[in-house]
């Protein structure tokens, strides 16, 4: 099912499979801001990463003495979500545990994903509920891909506060202890495919809580992510999109011991409690 939100400025579409954002369109100009999902490059638009972000070492972990496997970025993106509330400018989706998820992730949970359209801004809210009598470890992240209609080098990213960035190198999809400085030019990062020749740029910490995407030095959107301590940038070389990825958690490090409760960057949610976090996309 495709849910549609609209107001006088924007039209937004979300697929109930994965509760995945698939379109943000300016009603007046007809400009589309979300990547079309052409499988020649990457067949997704904005998948939700849950209950892990990135890759586990050997795609496996231990919990309470048992061994489990989880694929890269978890399973939420592969499931049909239920719509539990819908209005013209707001929709809330819900995913709860089932037999298949319990086999891979032995927790009773609810993941609510809400989309709210406010003028020229789309607010994306994640609500994670731990319905267990024990602590539940989890990570969650967004993976929106923004369509670039011009040449990749016509675009740049303006960081709110950073002067330079420190990126952690990936080693077989795991985070290594090697870092590289990504230099900025007066808070600007000019985009080039050379930045992504070794896969994503991974930032364990970042002072900025807003990134602006510019086209030929003119801002086209603001991406706000105050609740997320970690961040990723990604594209495929030659692809006409850029992913801005707010994360709560990240891939295993190469030194990870496999114990999910001790995983670097993991969030431990207390029994019968919940956590709410959000980011937003403002079209300018």
pLDDT tens by residue, 75-107: 999 999 999 999 999 999 999 999 999 999 999
| Alpha carbon 221 to its chain's center | 17
pLDDT in tens, 107-143: 999 999 999 999 999 999 999 999 999 999 999 999 9
Determine the Cα–Cα distance for residues 201 and 231; give it in Å rounded to an integer: 8
User: Residue holding tokens 């007809």?
Assistant: 30
Domain architecture of the chain: domains with CATH:
2-283 (2.70.98.10)
Q: For residue 11, what is the enclosing H or E element?
A: strand 10-15
pLDDT in tens, 163-187: 899 999 999 999 999 999 999 999 9
Q: For residue 101, what is the enclosing H or E element?
A: helix 99-104
What percentage of the chain reaches a pLDDT higher than 70? 100
∠ CA 187-190-192 to the nearest 5 degrees? 150
Tell me the average pLDDT across 157-161.
96
> What is the per-residue pLDDT for 149?
97
Q: Are 241 and 234 in contact (CB under 8 A)?
A: no
- Which of 169, 166, 243 shows the shortest CA–CA distance to 199? 169
DSSP 19-67: TEEEEEEETTT--B-B----TTT-S-SS--BBS-SS--GGGEEEETTEE
- Which of 208, 219, 2 shows the shortest CA–CA distance to 120? 219
pLDDT in tens, 239-270: 999 999 999 999 999 999 999 999 999 999 99
pLDDT in tens, 182-241: 999 999 999 999 999 999 999 999 999 999 999 999 999 999 999 999 999 999 999 999
Torsion of CA 199, 205, 210, 214, to 10 degrees: -30
Q: What average pLDDT does the structure give for the chain?
A: 97
> What is the per-residue pLDDT for 148?
98
Q: Are 51 and 112 in contact (CB under 8 A)?
A: no
Give the DSSP letter of residue 12: E
> What is the per-residue pLDDT for 275?
98
């Amino acid at each position: 099912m495709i849910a549609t939100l609209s107001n006088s400025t924007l039209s937004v579409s979300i697929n109930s499979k994965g509760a995945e954002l698939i379109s943000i369109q300016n009603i007046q100009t007809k400009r589309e801001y979300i990547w079309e999902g052409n499988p020649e490059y990457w067949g997704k638009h904005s998948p939700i990463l849950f209950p892990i972000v990135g890759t586990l070492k050997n795609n496996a972990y231990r919990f309470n003495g048992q061994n489990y496997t989880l694929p890269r970025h978890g399973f939420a993106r592969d499931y049909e979500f239920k719509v539990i509330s819908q209005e013209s400018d707001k929709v809330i989706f819900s995913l709860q545990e089932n037999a298949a998820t319990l086999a891979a992730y032995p927790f009773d949970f609810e993941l609510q994903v809400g989309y709210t359209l406010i003028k020229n801004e789309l607010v994306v809210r994640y609500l994670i509920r731990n319905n267990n009598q024990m602590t539940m470890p989890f990570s969650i992240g967004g993976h929106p891909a923004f369509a670039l209609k011009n040449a990749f080098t016509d675009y740049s990213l303006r960081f709110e506060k950073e002067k330079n960035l420190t990126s952690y190198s990936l080693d077989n999809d795991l985070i290594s202890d090697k870092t590289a400085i990504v230099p900025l030019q007066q808070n600007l990062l000019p985009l080039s495919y050379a930045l992504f020749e070794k896969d994503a740029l991974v930032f364990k910490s970042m002072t900025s809580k807003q990134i602006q995407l510019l086209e030929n030095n003119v801002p086209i959107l603001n991406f706000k992510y105050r609740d997320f301590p970690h961040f990723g940038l990604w594209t495929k070389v030659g692809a006409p999109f850029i992913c801005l990825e707010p994360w709560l958690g990240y891939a295993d490090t190469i030194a990870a011991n496999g114990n999910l409760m001790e995983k670097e960057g993991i969030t431990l949610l207390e029994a019968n409690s919940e956590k709410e976090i959000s980011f937003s996309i403002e079209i300018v």
